[in-house]
Structure 1
Amino acid sequence: MAFVNSERRRDYTHHPIPGWGERVISAAFTTQSRHVEESIRAVAVSLSRFWIARGGCTVMASSALFVCLGNICRSPIAEAVFRKMVTEQGVADQWHIDSAGTYGHEAGSPADYRSQACLRKHKLSTNHIAREITKDDFKTFDYIFCMDESNLRDLQRSAKNVSNCKANIDLLGKFDPQKQLIIKDPYYGGDEGFEEVYQQCLRCCKAFLSSVA
């Protein structure tokens, strides 16, 4: 049973990604291995919380998880944008960054080909494989940023069922200097929708990083 029961579902009968059906079948056979991967990921995030010695001072590693519905459109873009940003600012070793979805139907799939094309346009890339958010994510990530109010409701409802939830859960759009609170799902639209997602994520991630610097 999925950990998060989303209020919104996509019509997957007309999926724009060639070979999607085969990937879903393949993903079904890798459920057990994903459970192992999730456990390893939780340990990795926990380890990242240790104090890191750098140049005579110590800094505490932080962690951010970007979340959308299926983890193939918006959240992989946000993850890639934020990874580049912390790398350019020389603080990549101070962050653990990942993305996930509130709904596991896309688990095992790569990012949407339009998301990948948008990232390539901006000299970015992602090899992220979609996954569903887990209980451990709520316990280990400092920040969980979602894209719309449906995501937020799902996450807040799930967080209530997690003991020792430490994550600060909020809309990524709250950091948008242009006050565009919602980062809309571009799944059913054209390339322009993915570009808009990229630009919003760029603005929001920059503002967020500045706020915690």
Structure 2
Amino acid sequence: MKQRILFVCLGNICRSPAAEGIMRRLVADAGLEGVIEVDSAGTYGGHAGELPDARMRRAAVKRGYDLRHRSRRIAEEDFAAFDCIVAMDDTNYEALCRMAPSREAIGKVCRMAEFFGPAYADRTYVPDPYYEGHEGFERVLDMLQEGCANLLAEVRSRIRS
């Protein structure tokens, strides 16, 4: 059974494309490209068509992630197309729940923080690094690497079932 995961942040230029890039690499390393599909979107469409923020791309490439995604706003059809819609913070989680066309669609929405392990167990969201310096982008990548690894483990267990 194919699983489709959509990562969502506000503008789809920092956190969600980074999560998409990390998850793509994890999926490829696990040999699951034909089983798990990954994409990202934003709840705000003002950056539509843009590449991820240059600072995020620089930080990601140092870790071996190639972020080529073009920003897009989430669409109603995404709620039908994806099995899991992962919000980076509470504001985007709430926006996704308001946008969802049905209760069933709301059930697909979760928070990235749900997949944090011990290193970030005290965190309830992925902070937006847009207004921060280099360290903010590095911290977000650290958090997303942990969260994506745990999310992949959960998805793998569903696939095996």
| Superposition deviation, residue 101 in structure 1 | 0.1
| Superposition deviation, residue 212 in structure 1 | 2.4
| Superposition deviation, residue 164 in structure 1 | 6.3
- Percent identity (aligned): 38
| Superposition deviation, residue 93 in structure 1 | 1.2
1:165 aligns with 2:108: no
Match of 2:133 among 190, 194, 202: 190
Please state whether the residue corresponding to 1:194 is helix, strand or coil.
Answer: helix
Alignment partner, residue 152 of structure 2: 209
Aligned-CA RMSD value:
1.4
Separation (CA, whole Å) in 2 of partners of 1:185 and 1:169: 19
Check whether the contact 1:63–1:96 (CA below 8 A) recurs between aligned residues: yes
Separation (CA, whole Å) in 2 of partners of 1:147 and 1:164: 20
1:105 aligns with 2:105: no
Q: Which runs of 4+ in 1 moved over 6 A?
A: none
Aligned pairs, how many?
A: 153
1:68 aligns with 2:39: no
Residues 98-145 of structure 1 show CA distances to partners (whole Å, capped at 9, x for unaligned) of 000000011111100011001111011111100000000001100000
Check whether the contact 1:62–1:95 (CA below 8 A) recurs between aligned residues: yes
Separation (CA, whole Å) in 2 of partners of 1:65 and 1:77: 12
User: TM-score of the superposition, structure 2-length normalised?
Assistant: 0.90
Q: Which amino acid aligns with 1:79?
A: E
Q: Within 5 Å, give how 1:82-161 maps onto structure 2.
A: 82-159=23-100, 161=101
Please state whether the residue corresponding to 1:116 is helix, strand or coil.
Answer: helix
Structure number with higher relative contact order (C-alpha < 8 Å, ≥ 6 residues apart): 2
Separation (CA, whole Å) in 2 of partners of 1:77 and 1:165: 24
| Superposition deviation, residue 184 in structure 1 | 0.3
Residues 56-92 of structure 1 show CA distances to partners (whole Å, capped at 9, x for unaligned) of xxxx111000000000010010000000001101111
User: TM-score of the superposition, structure 1-length normalised?
Assistant: 0.69
Residues 142-197 of structure 1 show CA distances to partners (whole Å, capped at 9, x for unaligned) of 000011100000000111x3586386101011110131221000001111111111
Check whether the contact 2:97–2:106 (CA below 8 A) recurs between aligned residues: no
Q: Which amino acid aligns with 1:165?
A: A
Q: Which has the larger radius of gyration?
A: 1
Separation (CA, whole Å) in 2 of partners of 1:185 and 1:162: 28
Alignment partner, residue 159 of structure 2: none
